[in-house]
């Protein structure tokens, strides 16, 4: 499952160079450097507040960097004009943490929305594509007339995945795809991520707290650390390598996170939890 770990820049579809993002003077991303080869599934882990979702949004230009660049297919996305930026964003599929479906639309309307916005396909073809993608994520055609509120959390996540794939993107970004799901449904989502990679020639970036997800779906694992807790000369990416080798890291912060151990964080929080 984890046979590939390519880092050859010549093969990269995404390249991040010296990326820095600040909000109101507070640094969230600091000197991030990252190359993502075509076809790779990269999992990005790290505790809350370390900038994982900010990194995802920076990759598609939703957040502009304070410094550095994000290259997509060799082009700096933050130097593109708005029309070209929109054209490039179509090449991304985004699976949001809470699915982010349109509540007022039916499931069919949600999945078909990108097709109606960005293609001139006839309605009959759009309908067939919607049914095809429902089948691929294990959902029955009968739900096309339902509203998101009528579905379980796991079903909404799968609808979100179906919608992300209808335009056959080059890159799929997953923001906490298993958050809020029980272990069985979490593994269903993991299997769908794997099947998506097998069926389509996509590059995937999965932001997650769930080590089971990271270990199962990723070829490569990156762990980030909150910039505010780093020393001045420390990199924000503490680990970049194979998922199966992460527990061998010599950095205690990495092994504690992977094993779910509080470790030194209890001491850091001592002032707040009382003594």
**Which positions ≥6 away from 270 have C-beta within 8 Å?**
none
How does residue 237 score in pLDDT terms, banded at 50, 70 and 90?
A: very high
Q: What is the 3-state secondary structure (H, E, C) of 109-146?
A: HHHHHHHHHHCCCCHHHHHHHHHHHHHHCCCCHHHHHC
Q: Examine the pLDDT at 216 and tell me if it is beyond 90.
A: yes
What is the sign of the dihedral through the CA atoms of 187, 139, 164 and 23? negative
Q: Examine the pLDDT at 86 and tell me if it is beyond 50.
A: yes
Q: pLDDT digit string (tens) for 145-158?
A: 999 999 998 899 99
Q: Are 116 and 108 in contact (CB under 8 A)?
A: no
Q: Are 193 and 206 in contact (CB under 8 A)?
A: yes
For residue 175, how far is the Cα from the chain centroid?
A: 4
Q: Examine the pLDDT at 7 and tell me if it is beyond 70.
A: no
- Catalogue the long-range contacts made by 112-120 (C-beta closer than 8 Å, 24 or more residues apart): 112/166, 113/163, 114/90, 114/163, 114/166, 114/167, 115/166, 115/167, 118/90, 118/167, 119/167
Q: Examine the pLDDT at 67 and tell me if it is beyond 70.
A: yes
What is the mean pLDDT of the segment spanning 187-209? 91
**Which positions ≥6 away from 50 have C-beta within 8 Å?**
224, 225, 226, 227, 236
Please give the structure tokens belonging to residue 192: 């769908």
How does residue 82 score in pLDDT terms, banded at 50, 70 and 90?
A: confident
Higher pLDDT, 17 or 181: 17
Q: Find the range with the poorest average confidence among 54-63, 93-102, 219-228.
A: 93-102
Q: Are 189 and 156 in contact (CB under 8 A)?
A: no
How confident is the model at residue 1, as a pLDDT? 45
Please give the structure tokens belonging to residue 44: 């990005």
Provide the edge-to-edge strand list for the sheet that holds 203-207.
92-95, 171-175, 203-207, 41-45, 220-224, 237-241
How does residue 266 score in pLDDT terms, banded at 50, 70 and 90?
A: low
How confident is the model at residue 43, as a pLDDT? 97
Of all residues in the chain, what percent are helix, strand and coil, respectively (each to 5)? 45, 20, 35
How does residue 181 score in pLDDT terms, banded at 50, 70 and 90?
A: confident
Higher pLDDT, 272 or 70: 70
What gap in Å lies between CA 127 and CA 23, rounded to an integer?
42
- The pLDDT mean for the chain works out to 89
DSSP codes joined into one string, 195-262: HHHHHS--EEEEE-S-HHHHHHH-SEEEEE--GGGS-TT--SEEEEE-GGGGGG-S-HHHHHHHHT--
Q: pLDDT digit string (tens) for 90-136?
A: 999 998 877 788 899 999 999 999 999 999 999 999 999 999 999 99
CB-neighbour burial class of residue 104 (10 A; exposed 0-12, middle 13-18, buried 19+): exposed
Q: Examine the pLDDT at 272 and tell me if it is beyond 70.
A: no
What is the mean pLDDT of the segment spanning 158-178? 93
What is the mean pLDDT of the segment spanning 223-239? 92
How confident is the model at residue 264, as a pLDDT? 64
> For the chain, what percent of residues have pLDDT higher than 70?
92
Q: Find the range with the poorest average confidence among 7-11, 25-29, 181-185.
A: 7-11
Q: Are 175 and 97 in contact (CB under 8 A)?
A: yes
Please give the structure tokens belonging to residue 157: 């996540």
What is the mean pLDDT of the segment spanning 28-40? 95
């Amino acid at each position: 499952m984890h046979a590939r770990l390519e880092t050859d820049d010549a093969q990269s579809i995404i390249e991040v160079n010296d990326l820095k993002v600040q909000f109101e003077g507070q640094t969230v991303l600091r000197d991030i450097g990252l190359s993502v080869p075509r076809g790779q599934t990269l999992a990005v882990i790290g505790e809350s507040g370390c900038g994982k979702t900010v990194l995802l949004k920076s990759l598609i230009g939703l957040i502009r960097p304070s410094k550095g660049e994000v290259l997509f297919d060799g082009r700096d996305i933050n130097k593109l004009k708005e029309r070209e930026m929109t054209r490039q964003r179509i090449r991304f599929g985004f699976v949001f943490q809470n699915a982010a479906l349109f509540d007022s639309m039916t499931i069919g309307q949600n999945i078909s929305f990108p097709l109606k916005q960005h293609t001139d396909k006839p309605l009959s073809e759009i309908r067939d594509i919607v049914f095809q993608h429902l089948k691929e994520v294990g959902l029955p055609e009968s739900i096309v007339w339902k509203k998101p509120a009528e579905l379980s959390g796991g079903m909404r996540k799968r609808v979100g995945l179906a919608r992300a794939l209808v335009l056959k993107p080059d890159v799929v970004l997953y923001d906490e795809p298993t958050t809020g799901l029980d272990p069985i449904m979490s593994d269903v989502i993991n299997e769908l991520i794997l099947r998506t990679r097998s069926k389509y020639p996509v590059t995937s970036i999965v932001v997650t707290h769930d080590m089971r997800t990271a270990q199962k779906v990723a070829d490569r694992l990156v762990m980030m650390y909150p910039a505010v807790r780093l020393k001045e000369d420390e990199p924000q990416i503490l680990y970049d390598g194979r998922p199966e080798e992460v527990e061998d890291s010599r950095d205690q912060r990495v092994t504690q996170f992977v094993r779910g151990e509080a470790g030194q964080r209890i001491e850091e929080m001592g002032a707040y939890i009382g003594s």
